[in-house]
Amino acid sequence: MVAGLDEKLEPIFQDVLRRNPGETEFHQAVREVLETLGPVLVKYPELAEQKIIQRICEPERQIIFRVPWQDDRGQIQINRAFRVEFNSALGPYKGGMRFHPSVYLGIIKFLGFEQIFKNALTGLPIGGGKGGSDFDPKGKSDAEIMRFCQSLMTELYRHIGEHTDVPAGDIGVGGREIGYLFGQYKRITNRYESGVLTGKGLNWGGSRARTEATGYGAIFFLEEMLKVRGDSIEGKTCVVSGSGNVAIYAIEKAQALGARVIACSDSNGVVVDQDGIDLALLKQIKEVERRRLSAYVQERTGATYLENGCIWTVPCQIALPCATQNELTAKDAQSLVRNGCIAVAEGANMPTTPEGIHVLMDAGIAFGPGKAANAGGVATSALEMQQNASRDSWSFEYTEQRLKEIMVNIHRNCYETSEEFDSKGNYVVGANIAGFLKVGHAMAALGLV
């Protein structure tokens, strides 16, 4: 069951459906935000008058382009790429690039829409955008990845810039891809413009702690949610879906704070290791060798691999979805509740379905939505931009400390906003309203643009 919409908001949502046919993930992301904004329009009628919600739902600019490239056999391949420049009221468009075969405009728009509010919550001067391609990096050689990135940037370069739009990584885009993208941007423009991309390598303008930031940040947010309940992560049994960038560093920080992480996954299966995930082995397999997760159990007897298994059936106290959208359904939420789960923090973007969120919240589970809980990645990207602008480079400890402060502030802001709007402890309400108010007031101040 999904909540109804306020009578002022229903026609706005119907218009979004009509104008964006078939983009189901985008509809889902918009609906989730609109469901929480009714009381905001009562308190701030001027935002309704200014049609701020209607304006926020329409991207400022959408770019769709062809990416032709040649594979190692000499065959010509064609992909489609996107950059949706959603909202620049608070700063240059900022958000990652996703390379995954499932990418189409509706995915990039849902991600770009969520990015607006997430970036507002960081308190840093960044607008919202997102991009990507239906290119599948799996099984491609480094040379193929490079040629694809170079071809993509040959079009993208004219749309981005440190004061315009600053892409970074997301699914399928990490340090290797950012390197090829940055190299081509530099070559085409003849400018060493560090601030045009984030997630760069440490020896060419990257920030320390950016690789770790999303996963660490999600755990800092989780800690704050547990603190409110007089509890902590220490000694808790956790499961983390995915085994990519966000999952690996969520596991690292959870373990550092004394949690027992017993399972992780990829799109083929689940690893359960009751002795605790061996993080050095996981990093070796995923980051160095770029192999499938099933390799983990070949190296570690005692761990089990569940092919096509569902990670949410593994009993745990804390669940961290860190893979992809709609990976945690109502049925999964019911099995978490049954097994005594107390908290869910979303490392991924929109990983829990609306029905899943409903089940978790009804059961009184602490629920940290992605646009708050995973904001540490983009926040540290903004810290990378700060370092680039001042041609400086901070220590790991200092950068991590800044990240932690940002996550504590986001948690406090969401919690206090939820209280102010009579939904104490509902972080979905808190994150949506706090993010919306920051962007909405800025848009109103900037006039009709």
Active site residues: 130
308 is in an annotated binding site: no
Enumerate long-range contacts of 404-409, CB under 8 Å, 24 or more apart.
404/220, 406/122, 406/123, 406/124, 406/217, 406/375, 406/376, 406/379, 407/217, 407/220, 407/221, 407/224, 407/375, 407/376, 407/379, 408/220, 408/224, 409/123
Contact 307, 347 (CB under 8 A): no
Q: Which does 95 bind (CB under 5 to 8 A by kind): ligand NDP, ligand 2IT, none?
A: ligand 2IT
Among 95, 269, 321, 369, binds ligand 2IT (CB under 6 A): 95
Sign of the four-CA dihedral 150, 154, 155, 159: positive
Q: Which does 242 bind (CB under 5 to 8 A by kind): ligand NDP, ligand 2IT, none?
A: ligand NDP
Give phi and psi for 289, each to the nearest 5: -90, -15
| 25 lies in the binding site for ligand NDP (CB under 6 A) | no
Contact 149, 184 (CB under 8 A): yes
Q: Measured from the CB atom, is 84 or 342 closer to ligand 2IT?
A: 84
Strand order in the sheet with 128-133: 61-70, 76-87, 128-133, 93-99, 165-168
Closest residue to ligand 2IT in the complex (CB)? 96
| 377 lies in the binding site for ligand 2IT (CB under 6 A) | yes
Among 170, 177, 252, 273, binds ligand NDP (CB under 6 A): 170
Piece in contact with ligand NDP (CB under 6 A), picked from 156-164, 165-173, 176-184, 300-308: 165-173
* Tokens coding 158: 């004219």
| 267 lies in the binding site for ligand NDP (CB under 6 A) | yes
| 440 lies in the binding site for ligand NDP (CB under 6 A) | no
Q: Is 338 helix (H, G, I), strand (E, B) or coil?
A: helix
- Provide the annotated binding site for NAD(+): 214, 245
Binding residues (CB under 6 A) for ligand NDP: these are 100, 102, 169-172, 214, 242-247, 266-268, 322-324, 347-349, 374, 377
Residues that bind ligand 2IT (CB under 6 A): 94-96, 118, 168, 170, 198, 349, 377-378, 381
Binding site for substrate: residue ranges? 94, 115, 118, 169, 381
